[in-house]
Structure 1
């Protein structure tokens, strides 16, 4: 106890007591989970040692951080405690939340934190085995949730005794039946925890053996909260499938539309919407500052939904004037208007072009017969009121359609939709370049 001071009790569990603690060196506050080694509870001590070893190997921003461990002698040296030092989460647990403060956006946020935590835990080769509301801790402003209490966790590759681990009301059917307990079992417990966050109570009513029989031997599922949206119920359905092979993994759930507003864009862009430019970065930074208290939580996140909304609703490019460079230039001679088809002459621009830069579509110079014929055709189109104006209207109509299409991508995030969108961008760019080129020719003719 020479390096830190034990404070008030902030929690009790089956395997130990948690106290707030203060470091003597720098005044930092942290949490200490302790087991009295002299009381003769070998299972509690074993669970704490198991948690220490696992937290040393699991590094995740969504898991309560391991800060160290030690043994202390207290009460005049008569009591010996094994201690685990943890990150202090002053917001309590999700089980303690006032249901009046819980809306669907908060449920989505906590669900995303939990799925992200389980993804990191499973990637390290562990199964948590006891995912529930009491083991999900909150930050001071309750904007962030972290997974805690790894006393029941096991390694996936280590042979198990198939004894059920965890809390019965959150156990998966295969765990109750003692068939297996793997990452898929955590997915079931995750679905039960989301129901608990919404309702403020366990997913099943506790009737002892009868409830365990319903979980393990019936075809029943926990009742989905009625106030949860259809998207949220679909998310629960992906977690709470009685056949463990059919449950979605963490990677799949992170792509579910229910969690999409909190999805993280990888640093290496996979499509144009993932690219981080200065305009997006600056606007997102300002938005986070205005929200107050969210900048730290979202510092490393790029909102896909926000990007799509910006691209779909803001006028970022003027297809007529901005961002175009002249590739072919034409010098005109101010002579009499000479029509090759009628032979009539008026004052205007000569159809003969001189000092032309570039190569025609037939491979010769721009003065070739094929190009001159094309110029004449565009001249006639212009006189009839057609030409490039209709093309520009088509482009703007396409822009309106693609805005609606981009908004659909928020909810229908599939590979085919992205492929179709990429093909559309290529065709749109080619179309605009052609229209731009044709417009220049018509303007030359008019002048």
Structure 2
């Protein structure tokens, strides 16, 4: 009696069916590829035996579907059957082709990141195979299984795989025609460069959800093997991704990159960035800054720590400026930037205490006094405050009294994007009148044609009434 129970069918291919298996002893769930030895064609059982032989010989790899064992089972009943079974790791996420089809042609930056990660897994799997003298021969979206984490993928289905030397071998074409390399279609050779071509076709399929070529039978095979045409690179793929495809899809097998080279391509690097604009200044890195960083690495770890501190300080200051509370105008530490030479610094010290902003205005040198505008400027590194000439002597509690007596002190506070200014009542009235006059003139200038039409129409009506009389 078998130690496992067959479950539902989860896949069906040209060489057999794949079902879920349940181990009675351990409770483990796995995948079972089976071929009915009594009704199958000879090449089908040969394919399964070849896959069992290949998987047995392979060292374990996180990017290949794991081999768990094989056996033969007999089914008693009306029709006695015998099945040859291959036990494999169960990967629950489906295939890369199914994932691409579910997107329905939509492809975003997130999808590209997933495809990039899946491609990195497949290239690593092919490198593992090629280093052992094995060619997969059937790399395509349906043979790339996706885990629960869509970024992780495993290469499966080794029924067409062959073991050859580094120079390749002349063999009958194996695999799926729409993913075959030109030299395979021509029957010349099938080696590791052929897998790289199929990999490029699989990436096209993972992006578009469609095979790399339209299936028109013999005409398509002729185009692949004997023309100069190439699979179309998806427009929705980034420039970096299209460059990766260009390294895979080269008609000359010797010109294609090897898997070792492809693993060094920026498209497969975990820190690869999309071809988009930086979202903030700290995200942008230029070649000049990269050169500076290389020089700092040669100096030592101390310079790196200084750079990290500078970056942290910059982030902290930018964070304060971008907070929802805005600038703190009431904080300590206001410094005189430019002063009014008609203002008395001694009066400003007393005025600052009464105004409530700061009681410690620090005097600057005489060369810095006088900005030619009658305005004293102060800064506390979180904003700028401008005080009018009247405010230089009236920013204290007595300014309220002076305003009531018509002295012109005190006034109103005007706030802008980069500065704050105190204005007298008279100044506010003038500013308001100027603003409304400006708005009126703009309105009149925009509607002058309408006014002319209205005026002409009124004159016409007037003359018509006069004629009637």
TM-score higher than 0.5:
yes
| Pairs within 5 Å for 1:374-393 | none
Tell me the SS of whatever aligns to 2:148: coil
1:70 equivalent in alignment to 2:71 = yes
Between 9-18 and 420-429, the greater mean CA deviation after superposition: 420-429
From 182, 194, 214, give the equivalent of 1:185: 194
- Whole-angstrom CA distance in 1 between matches of 2:289 and 2:220: 44
- Whole-angstrom CA distance in 2 between matches of 1:18 and 1:430: 59
Partner of 1:377: none
From 225, 231, 234, give the equivalent of 1:222: 231
Report the CA distance between 1:141 and its aligned residue.
Answer: 3.8
Partner of 1:39: 39
Q: 8 Å contact 1:20–1:32 — kept in the other structure?
A: yes
1:368-408 superposed Cα distances (whole Å, 9 cap, x missing partner): xxxxxxxxxxxxxxxxxxxxxxxxxxxxxxxx9xx644986
| Pairs within 5 Å for 1:115-134 | 115-134=123-142
Report the CA distance between 1:213 and its aligned residue.
Answer: 0.4
Q: 8 Å contact 1:112–1:262 — kept in the other structure?
A: no
Q: 8 Å contact 1:135–1:147 — kept in the other structure?
A: yes
From 426, 431, 441, give the equivalent of 2:298: 426
Partner of 2:307: none
Report the CA distance between 1:161 and its aligned residue.
Answer: 5.1
- Whole-angstrom CA distance in 2 between matches of 1:430 and 1:197: 46
Partner of 1:56: 56
From 91, 97, 107, give the equivalent of 2:115: 107
Tell me the SS of whatever aligns to 1:261: coil
Q: 8 Å contact 1:57–1:124 — kept in the other structure?
A: no
Q: 8 Å contact 1:109–1:262 — kept in the other structure?
A: no
Q: 8 Å contact 2:15–2:48 — kept in the other structure?
A: yes
- Whole-angstrom CA distance in 2 between matches of 1:135 and 1:234: 24
Tell me the SS of whatever aligns to 2:30: strand
Q: 8 Å contact 1:50–1:150 — kept in the other structure?
A: yes
Tell me the SS of whatever aligns to 2:267: coil
| Pairs within 5 Å for 1:190-339 | 190-261=199-270
1:258-296 superposed Cα distances (whole Å, 9 cap, x missing partner): 111179xxxxxxxxxxxxxxxxxxxxxxxxxxxxxxxxx
Greater RCO structure (CA 8 Å; 6+ sep)? 1
1:139 equivalent in alignment to 2:141 = no
Tell me the SS of whatever aligns to 2:22: strand
1:170-195 superposed Cα distances (whole Å, 9 cap, x missing partner): 00000001111000000000000000
What TM-score results when the alignment is normalised by the length of structure 2? 0.57
Partner of 1:86: 88
Tell me the SS of whatever aligns to 1:30: strand
Tell me the SS of whatever aligns to 1:10: strand
What TM-score results when the alignment is normalised by the length of structure 1? 0.60
Alignment RMSD: 2.9
Q: 8 Å contact 1:11–1:19 — kept in the other structure?
A: yes
- Whole-angstrom CA distance in 1 between matches of 2:302 and 2:47: 64
Q: 8 Å contact 2:96–2:144 — kept in the other structure?
A: yes
Report the CA distance between 1:41 and its aligned residue.
Answer: 1.6
Aligned length: 290
Q: 8 Å contact 2:114–2:150 — kept in the other structure?
A: no
From 169, 174, 178, give the equivalent of 1:165: 174
